[in-house]
Chain A
Amino acid sequence: MNDLRDLYQEIILDHNRNPRNFRAIDGATITLEGYNPLCGDRYTIYLVLDGDIVKDISFTGAGCAISKASASVMTSMLKGKTRAEAEAAFQQFHEVATGHNAISDQQLESLGKLGAFAGIREFPMRVKCATLAWHTMHNGLEGKHEGATTE
């Protein structure tokens, strides 16, 4: 099960079991749904913005371990960040999960929790699970009203 442990790292299993910020926010600045019609993963992302700052962020919904852990890690990373920082994290996550350039151990260390998602790129069928919440958050900040669909 070595390869599987690359995908289902302890951080991912932990965030799946105990998702952080797993709640709705009434009166959120941005509320947007993301849906993956292929597997039925469905999440709602809530963003409370104070000017340029993501004051609070949370999510609700259901889906696989990868998608749920990804949403959980994302919300715990972005609280207190600026829009630009959130956008940069989105780009960085995308590169980690889908990129073709090898990731050095040093880079992996600097990625922190995002590094746990580096195993996804070996499982192309699961990339959409990992990116769903991030795409939804990104679309929300971009001011798009239709939810993200990753299929």
Chain B
Amino acid sequence: MLTAELAPLPVETLRQDFPILNRIVRGKPLVYLDNAATTQKPQQVIDAISRYYAETNSNVHRGVHYLSEQATIQYEGARRRVANFLNAGSEREVIFTRGTTEAINLVAASFGRKFLREGDEVILTEMEHHSNIVPWQIACDASGAKLRVAPINDRGEVMMDQLRALLNPRTKMVAAVHLSNALGTINPVKEIVELAHSVGARVLLDGAQAVSHLPVDVRDLDADFYVFSGHKIFGPTGIGVLYGKAELLESMPPYQGGGDMIRSVSFQRTIYNDIPYKFEAGTPHIAGAIGLAAALDYVENVGLERIAAWEHELLEYGTGLLQEIPGLRLIGTAHQKASVLSFVLESAHPHDIGTILDNDGVAIRTGHHCAEPVMHRFGIPATARASVAFYNTRQELDALAQAIHNVNRLFR
């Protein structure tokens, strides 16, 4: 990475864009380190959503009146914005969903119905989020296909030789996370795509965590499907994205039926709309899409290369601080890692850690992070997880470390 040539991030200035970061929580300045759960929103995003409701609110693709036309222009502009952000070949390849989970369910249901047959195989990695496991279990149950799992090593990295060994001509889908929410591991997704394609399998990449930390180019990755959520990249909840290669999306059956996804309907015969509309039944989350576009504008203005470089510094600094704490064990020590510091303490259960840190104004997540197989792999019920975004500072990681010392003091 060209970190040396990048101007440093003006973190203190950027923080002023995020009103919530000025809040006092439990009598202390908020230290928000739960960014893997959801990110905070800059004023620019909040304003874009308010402005839409105050000035433009109307339904899309329907009315001939002025507001409907404006809302449609903004909604379709958001789609182009997303396509550009991912470097998709065309905005027809961008489908708005409720989030990552719905996007994966859409692919598992629709791709599954079209391409999965008895005896076929779907490969996942052991570090997947439940939302990239359960939809495939449902699709396998429906089709008679088999689920195979590529294991991870003690650092929390996919064992690539094992993944290679699982691939065979019956493999129809490889679904893998780009950046693990529980471990912080960055998977070698380009290599995974190449390997999968070599046996004719398709690949879905779960980018829920990745998009706010790393530049993503779906054409460079040659991903067949790439999915993410708006709220994890400084946008609103309730909006997400499915990117899919046009020829694949065109060959797949609709996921839900309703308005907007049809060209004509009679009781005898319904003709479906073209992509992307075929997969967007009903009135979409228009304000959400517009808010997401504002968030992507914001992120690109800041610059994802600069974000990645700063977060790498933060992660190294935080890792150093945490490793000095007696009885602390990091869960997830991959060579390629971003954002996430998942850990357990000898003295206290993660749930107790979470409460005590909260009392110091430090917001982290505790639990299994919707990745129970990862917890089983490491033989633990849960972890405490701090996850950074570009607006975090070294001082905030100092506060985290100090609060963890307080846990040890209380439980010694």
Q: Which residues on A are within 8 Å of B, measured CB to CB?
A: 1, 3-4, 7-8, 13, 16, 38-42, 62-66, 123, 125-126, 129
Contact = CB atoms under 8 A, between A and B. Distances in A.
B411 interface: yes
B367 interface: yes
A40 B411 contact: no
10 contacts: A3-B359, A4-B359, A8-B352, A39-B366, A39-B382, A41-B351, A62-B381, A63-B349, A65-B348, A66-B352
A40 B182 CA distance: 15
Q: Which 5 A-B pairs have the closest CB atoms?
A: A40-B381, A64-B351, A64-B349, A39-B351, A40-B382
A37 to B, nearest CB: 9
A129 B381 CA distance: 14
A110 B381 CA distance: 36
Given A3-B359, A4-B356, A39-B382, A65 B406 contact: no
A65 B359 contact: no
B200 to A, nearest CB: 38
A125 B359 CA distance: 13
A1 B368 CA distance: 27
Interface in B350-396: 350-352, 355-356, 359, 366-368, 375, 381-382
Nearest to B27: A3
A42 B359 contact: no
A39 B410 contact: no
> Helix, strand, loop or mixed for chain B's interface?
helix
Given A13-B410, A39-B381, A123-B355, 20 more contacts: A3-B359, A4-B359, A8-B352, A13-B411, A39-B350, A39-B366, A39-B367, A39-B382, A40-B368, A41-B351, A62-B381, A63-B349, A63-B381, A64-B350, A65-B348, A65-B349, A65-B411, A66-B351, A126-B355, A129-B351
A9 B323 CA distance: 29
Q: Which of under 10, 10 to 19, 20 to 34, or 35 or more describes the interface residues of B?
A: 10 to 19
Contacts of A4: 355-356, 359, 410
Given A13-B411, A65-B348, A7 B367 contact: no
B87 to A, nearest CB: 39
Nearest to B349: A64
A130 B147 CA distance: 38
Contact of B410 (A8, A63, A129): A8
Contacts of A38: 367
Given A1-B359, A1-B410, A13-B411, A40 B352 contact: no
Interface centre among B349, B359, B375, B381 (most CB of A within 10 A): B349
Contacts of A8: 352, 356, 410
A13 B356 CA distance: 14
Interface in B324-357: 348-352, 355-356
Nearest to B366: A39
A62 B382 CA distance: 11
A1 B356 CA distance: 9
Nearest to B359: A4
Contacts of A42: 381
A13 B348 CA distance: 10
B396 to A, nearest CB: 20
Contacts of A1: 359, 406, 410
Contacts of B355: 4, 7, 123, 125-126
Contacts of A66: 351-352
Nearest to B382: A40
A64 B352 CA distance: 6
A103 to B, nearest CB: 21
Nearest to B26: A3
A68 to B, nearest CB: 8
Contacts of B366: 39
Contacts of A3: 26, 359
A13 B410 CA distance: 9
Contacts of B26: 3
Contacts of B356: 4, 8
